[in-house]
Structure 1
């Protein structure tokens, strides 16, 4: 539970949370003052020695002052119930102090922590001290009025008025109790906000790093998936397909040698079934990962898909050469899925595929003259293709008003890997 969460619980005043909030803010005020002295001392000494060679490294090392400050702040956050907040520092690429220093001075986390140290030493610690003084100092002074009245016969209540009787002293003490209770809640609220600010500043980049790593992991999964597809395609092409070809040839020879009769009829049917199984296997291999895409690239593979389409396709694809394999694979399967949808659902008489490589992006447009009304959420398979394109930082958009025409546009950032083709 955090101090903010404890504010809404019954028994907050009887719990340790008001004391923890006060300890968090009071320690922050003291630590911030020390940070201010240390940072100013480093800057003064480094500036004074800047005329010497040793002054420049000292000024550079001052940038690292935020690292220990951030480490202490992460531990102090536990007083407010927050934590742990991990440090977002990178692992040096090589052992040794020079590599460590180079990594720390180049990464954003170091400068973010230095900025927090400067903020703590200049602005936050006076606010922490002021919050503790207002929330606790005034009410405690009111609570001390009866003791002062008993010692001197009169007492001043926080320099506002003078108390000359016991009823007045007790009333001032009761007011102090009320203000102290209210101050405990105010102190808890401020401590929670202050701790949340520190957590956000010291943990900034956590979500960004997580998203970056997620994108990288998705790209690695796509690459692994493509490699597995190519392996399956090779195994089927070089293994099962060759065995079916040999079986078909054997059945064909046996059919020629068999005398007319029931045996010849059975061999003929077996030979036909083997031929159909071989054709289906070739279609399966082509759907997994066509060899023409591996050998000759995207334009040849798209031209082959256009030739096999039941709907006539006008092709106008201008590419400077080979593109990265993930881009070629994603673009090819988008074209194949789009042509399959055109043949199944559009009622089109003609389709077109056009595009090229401009401004560092592969742009493809697949359209038809059908009746339109295509819906990616209707099970057309385009949603999965959009996810696949998004992994490559690309975009897939569809325009298909009722009555047509339908236009599918794909944009994928990439650079040619073989400009000469």
Structure 2
């Protein structure tokens, strides 16, 4: 193929020697048949749904008809490859979690769904007769003219050309065959132009718009940024753990050995003791820093054990109860762990609570984690309590945060993150 689409083929010489006229005829024929079948199907479904709507049974069928354009547009995007080699992107976003209800809710909210429904109605009730009539005229008229010598030979006496002209002479049928060849070549140009225009209209309605492409790219880029951020944070944690922390451990051990060799009670022993103590404090702070960047227990054992570790180190006694089917994506576990860590820190700083509770479960394709405390309540995101940053961190993984904290308490922080377990 020398051209990328039918429009380019029309502007270049050699159209009749290429496959584009035949591809254009095939596109119009298949699109016309698809539109005819879609029109019959829509009429039958609307009729049945209208009859059954009296007893409310047809209402779900009517609602499902709104999605009829989704498979029809998917077929059209495939047929477009006959007259345009450039692929047509799918305008629909993939659901963020499995389940039919999630898929239906997403499709009904997308503008592409309703645009495709409009195109399906246009193809089913307006375009298909044009497609089939154009292909039929190009194929039938020149085809019968080309076949007139063979038909006369089979009959032996006469041939009815186009049902309007009786021909008895073989010479006339040869002339008609030549005219049919010329007519077929001449009609190849308008047929290709019609297919190109028909394809341009279809592409306009079934291809994603600029805003849809930008939204899809934003979603993809945000996912890539989240993964890159998590990978970089793990790298920093690993470098600190394997590098600076190990050197501090070796330094602390060397200072401890030096204290054993130093004369007891002398000024050198006192300075070594101070240096040894200071090295221990630095090591402890570094370990806290490493744990804050990305806790090792989270990477090794998952979210429940990491939250249990948070509860053990919390200033407010906290219970932990998780019911998860397996490990979750690293970005989800990390965001959830930091949210729980911030929530427990806020509980210790601001609530005056005597006890707290962290619960989590995965159901319906969503991870739901709740942090409850019996403190004084009155948590206000606008007051600088850290809840705004917590909500931003959860939003990075498409999560939502809700806070219930009436004055007098209790406070309940609930976060939901769509995700799919990685391992059982």
1:280 has 2:285 as partner: yes
1:238 has 2:242 as partner: yes
1:104 has 2:88 as partner: yes
Contact 2:252/2:276, CA 8 A, preserved across alignment: yes
Report the Cα distance in structure 2 between the residues aligned to 1:287 and 1:98, rounded to whole angstroms.
Answer: 56
Report the Cα distance in structure 2 between the residues aligned to 1:355 and 1:112, rounded to whole angstroms.
Answer: 40
The Cα shift of 1:100 comes to: 5.8
Match among 22, 29, 46 for residue 59 of structure 1: 29
TM-score, scaled to structure 2? 0.55
1:313 corresponding residue in structure 2: 318
Please give the secondary structure, in 2, of the residue aligned with 1:103: coil
Contact 1:215/1:391, CA 8 A, preserved across alignment: no
1:390 corresponding residue in structure 2: 395
Report the Cα distance in structure 1 between the residues aligned to 2:84 and 2:279, rounded to whole angstroms.
Answer: 65
1:322 corresponding residue in structure 2: 327
Contact 1:327/1:414, CA 8 A, preserved across alignment: yes
1:228 corresponding residue in structure 2: 232
1:251 has 2:280 as partner: no
Report the Cα distance in structure 1 between the residues aligned to 2:258 and 2:289, rounded to whole angstroms.
Answer: 28
1:357 has 2:362 as partner: yes
Which structure has the higher relative contact order (CA within 8 Å, separation 6+)?
Answer: 2
Unaligned regions of 5+ residues in structure 1, if any? Answer: 1-44, 47-52, 64-96, 123-199
The Cα shift of 1:376 comes to: 1.5
1:374 has 2:386 as partner: no
Report the Cα distance in structure 2 between the residues aligned to 1:105 and 1:319, rounded to whole angstroms.
Answer: 36
Please give the secondary structure, in 2, of the residue aligned with 1:416: coil
Greater alpha carbon shift after TM alignment, 360-369 vs 391-400? 391-400
Match among 204, 213, 216 for residue 212 of structure 1: 216
Contact 2:377/2:406, CA 8 A, preserved across alignment: yes
Report the Cα distance in structure 2 between the residues aligned to 1:376 and 1:349, rounded to whole angstroms.
Answer: 22
Please give the secondary structure, in 1, of the residue aligned with 2:368: strand
Let me know the Cα RMSD of the aligned residues. 3.8
Report the Cα distance in structure 2 between the residues aligned to 1:218 and 1:105, rounded to whole angstroms.
Answer: 20
Report the Cα distance in structure 2 between the residues aligned to 1:220 and 1:340, rounded to whole angstroms.
Answer: 29
Unaligned regions of 5+ residues in structure 2, if any? Answer: 1-20, 34-80, 93-111, 127-203
Number of aligned positions between the proteins: 261
| Equivalent runs, 1:13-24 vs 2, <5 Å | none
TM-score, scaled to structure 1? 0.55
Report the Cα distance in structure 2 between the residues aligned to 1:361 and 1:352, rounded to whole angstroms.
Answer: 20
Report the Cα distance in structure 2 between the residues aligned to 1:324 and 1:235, rounded to whole angstroms.
Answer: 22
Please give the secondary structure, in 1, of the residue aligned with 2:88: helix
Contact 2:91/2:208, CA 8 A, preserved across alignment: no
